[in-house]
Structure formats: C-alpha cells, structure tokens
Chains A and B, each alone.
Chain A
C-alpha cells in the first residue's frame, strides 16, 4: 500500500477525492463512531446528565445481572423475538407460495398483506390500542361478545401482553417478508420444475428439493433482519402498553422489553450510565446475530 509519492503530491492529486468523502466521514465520525465509544465509556460510569460522569467500573453490569426488571425485559424480548420471527417467516413464505402470480387477484392479495408496511406505524399502533379497547365499544371485545364472551381487559391482562405484541408484529411484518419471498420465487428458473416433473417428482418433493434450497438466501435475510428488528421493538410497547409516565412496560411489566427499559432508565429516571450499559447489552446481542448472518452468508457462497 505504501506509495513512494510524497504526501503533498498525493493530496494535490487526491484532494478532491478526500473532499468528496469528507461530509460523510465527518458526520459518520461525529454521530456514530464517537457516540459509540462514548456510550461504552458511559456504561462504566454513573451519570445523571447534569453532573459529570463518575467512573464506577463494572458496577452497572453487576447491577444489571441482579436487576429483576432487566431480566424480565430480557425474557420478554426473547419470547417475543422467537415467536414473532418464527411465525412471521412461516406466514411470509406461505403467503408468497399462495399469491405469487401476476394476475389481479394475486396482486390484490399482495397489496392487502403489504399495506401495513407502507402505513404510518404510529397510525397502526393507535389503531391497535383502539381495537383492544377494554370495554365493549372496542372491536376485540365486540368479536368476543359475538361468541358469548365477557369483555376482556386486553392490554391490562399480563398473560396477553406478549401474544398481543407478537400478533401486532406478525400482522404488520408478514407482507414485507412475503414480497421478499415472491421476488425470490421469481428468480428460480422454471426449467428446474419442468425437469423435476418429467422425472415424476411430486409437488411436495419439488418444494422440498428445489424451492426451499433456492430460497435459502431469502430465508436467511428475512430471519436475520426480522431478529434484529424484533430486538429493537419500542414503539409498540410505548404506545400500546404504557399506562402512565412512570409505567412504560404495561401492567406488571408484562410487555417490558430491552429498548423500552433503556428509555425508561435513561429518560424517565435519568440514569444515563445504567442505560448505556443496557445499550451495550443490546449491541452485543445484535452484533453476534449479524456475525452469524455474515458467516452463514459466506458459507453459502462457498457451497
């Protein structure tokens, strides 16, 4: 890499190139690299945002290890992530297989399932809150009453918090996965299926040995981006489950997740050091997932 050309000449020749890179690099360094390093530092401090940060070593992480609310947030998030990604991916694939044609009935169905992806997400959250209204005026309880049931306090029932959050996530996200799968299906050469048919392969065997393997890059993408997105859930909890300024995670923290807890500690309790430690736990989880994604991607390229 070392070039014998002196720096001054290189700068003259490449000055424009560096100037073109500068806006991006300056913003990138100022609002990503520096804050990232800074948040690592803050995670080892006690910091209320006003007084200077006081270095306390691993105290925050030790406290996290014993914080039952944090454990609750972690287990809620884990359950939510697994359920919403598994269900979401299966339904996305199913929808893509069912509605991958070019005729208008299939296009209308795709539009219906894709609509939440282009609808304002705050509108969807407020809509859900209204659907799950606790009295008989809500849509959820109206449907329950058709079957002779009593009104349910949907959002105030701890056991229903995660199922409702999963429902909202799958309902809103499966159309997006479907579109990715439809694009993937369109890229599979039709000759493969013709050859398989000539060989007498059943529909199931065609699906198992042609469709599924060739869709693997799409599946990896849908699963990994789904996992990463699910770990970062915030708005659904904050809008739908918040019951007051000091209760972010719903009744008994039944809907508490990692990012809402980070917000709660950082911006309602002003424990910015502690919140930074939570942020780094989130970072590590997502970093590992991304590395797995890279490795899977590379392994598949070598295949």
Chain B
C-alpha cells in the first residue's frame, strides 16, 4: 500500500524562511519536542496497519505461532490463492486463500463486482437525480420550491436507521430482498447531496443559463450542457462522500441480503469472519480486507484535491 503524500490541506501561507539563526534552530528543535507525543501517536497509527500487512503474507502455520513474527519468516501469497490446498485435506497446513473461500461462482471476485456495481450505480444515479432537482430548486421560479427545500433540509436531521424497519418491509413487499434494486433504489435520493448542490448553484451567476434560454435551449439541454459542467467540482466532492459511504455500507446490506451471491464486500467478509475465528485463518481474512481497501484508497488519491475543496465549500463556511 504505497500511498503518496497527500494534499488534503488548503495551502497554508507561511512566512518566508529566514536564514537560520541560533534562535531559529532552537525553536525548530522545540517544535519537534512539542510534536513528540504526536510522533508516538503516529506509531500507534502505523502499528495495526503493519500488523494487517504482515498477516497477509504469513503462511497459516506461522500465524498460529507464539510469539508472532514481525517480519514474515516465509512470505507467501497463499492467503490470496494457495495452489497446494486440496478440498480433501491431504495437504495439512494448507488453507484456502481468499479467492478459494466462497462457494459462489467467481468466488471473492463476485463480491468485488457487487460492491463496484452498487457503488458506481448509486454514485452516478444519485448525482444525476440530485443535480436535476438542485437545478430546479436553485434556478427555477416555481411554486412550492421553498417548502420542498425546507423539507429536504429538515430530513437531514433524521438518522437513516429510523427508516430501517419500514424500508425493510417495503423491500420485502416489493419482492426486492436479495436484489441489486434493494441496494440501489432506496439510496438514490440523498438529501445532503441535494442541499450541497443547491448551495453551490446558488453561488453561481445566472447569465450562462439565461443566455442559453435566449438561444432557445430547452431546460433538459441546459441541465446537461451547462449546469452539469458548472457543477463539476461539486459533483466530484460529493462523489467522494458517496463512494466512501456506499463502499462501507454494512447495516442495510446485512438486512436485505439473504443469499451468498448478493453480499457486498463488508457482508461477505463479516460472514467469513464469523465462520473462521482461528489465528491460522486470519491471513485470508486480512487479505480480503486489504483487497477491499485498495479501490477506495485509489479513488481517494485520484480525487483528493476535490475533497479539500468540498470541505471548504460545504457547511464549514459557517
């Protein structure tokens, strides 16, 4: 997991560094001393991650050993796929890698696929639906838009778990349990995304939209050709929040998923963990966790500059 230093901070203006004097050096050393507790804290951040990483590359026999090794003694990829494992158990000491663990077509790939499909569909779908509504609320002079907007703002104070049980009953009555529809459809109308997009649109001037109207462009065309491109930074910022939330979604899938095939990554890994608790199985479980983390880390690294801007644009302005 090589992670490049990131740029999560808005640029901080610093005074130009002067030629180092004795006092300057002393204050720099003081600065490091003051930060010492935080360097130690950083160690506690790194340690569990390191523990996860070395676990992934230890063979089962080494995982059950006390005291544990802190550098894998015989590094292996067997926790991903062990070619020497047989279902008959003629090869003691060999366990299934994560890609051999699940009795569904395509094994672990199926859950990667499910999570990717669900996350991308919800992200794209909710951004389209919310941007359409945001355009109307921010730029159209229709009756009732204030009331609608107020209701949407008020709904942001509702913890989504309050609607958990009725939504479960709705899914059951629609026959949607254990389907992609149950993952996707209820997750599309996101109040906080709409709120954010409305705020962003309100801060933009009307001239471009007016000019397009004068030229005879229809509203759908204006939304697609003018509003969406204008919204791009806001959409990018929101997509980070949506992707992270949906990728990690656990409680809702736990309730609507019944079969092995329809699990997303968190549910599949939770089930795996509840079946295999021994230390020798931890290698495969941690390998699954590592694979589940790579997509979000990559996504964040690609979009991180929008993330900072998203923070600056959102409620933080006061």
Contact = CB atoms under 8 A, between A and B. Distances in A.
A67 interface: no
B204 interface: no
A41 to B, nearest CB: 9
B216 interface: no
Contacts of A18: 136, 142
Contact of A98 (B38, B135, B167, B188): B38
A32 interface: yes
Contact of B165 (A39, A130, A228): A39
A279 B6 contact: no
Contacts of A115: 3, 45, 49, 297
B208 interface: no
A42 B265 CA distance: 32
B296 A126 contact: no
Contacts of B66: 135-137
B133 A180 contact: no
A154 B172 CA distance: 39
B103 interface: no
**Chain A binding surface SS class:** helix
Nearest to B7: A107
- Size class of the A contact interface (CB-based, 8 Å): 35 or more
Interface in B282-318: 282, 285-286, 288-290, 292-293, 296-297, 300, 308, 311-312, 315-318
B59 interface: no
B279 to A, nearest CB: 5
Contact of B247 (A49, A94, A120, A234): A120
B133 A25 contact: yes
B316 to A, nearest CB: 6
Contacts, number: 305
Interface in A12-40: 14, 16-18, 20-21, 23-25, 27-28, 30-36, 38-39
Contact of B8 (A110, A187, A228, A300): A110
B286 A266 contact: no
Interface string A173-188: 0010001101111110
Interface string A155-181: 000000000000000010001000110
A35 B142 contact: no
A183 B308 contact: yes
Interface stretch (A55-63, A75-83, A280-288): A280-288
Interface of B: 3-15, 34-35, 38, 41-42, 44-49, 51-52, 55, 63-68, 129-130, 132-133, 135-137, 140, 142-143, 148, 151-152, 155-159, 161-170, 172, 185-186, 188-189, 191, 194, 218-220, 223, 244, 247-248, 250-251, 254-255, 265-266, 269-270, 273-274, 279, 282, 285-286, 288-290, 292-293, 296-297, 300, 308, 311-312, 315-318
6 tightest CB-CB pairs across the interface, nearest first?
Answer: A123-B289, A35-B166, A27-B189, A24-B133, A186-B10, A290-B157
Interface of A: 1, 3, 10, 14, 16-18, 20-21, 23-25, 27-28, 30-36, 38-39, 42, 49, 91, 94-95, 98-102, 104, 107-124, 126-131, 133, 135-139, 142, 145, 171, 175, 179-180, 182-187, 190, 217-218, 221, 228, 231-232, 234-235, 238-239, 242, 259, 262-263, 266-267, 272, 275-276, 279-280, 282-283, 286-287, 290-291, 297, 300-301
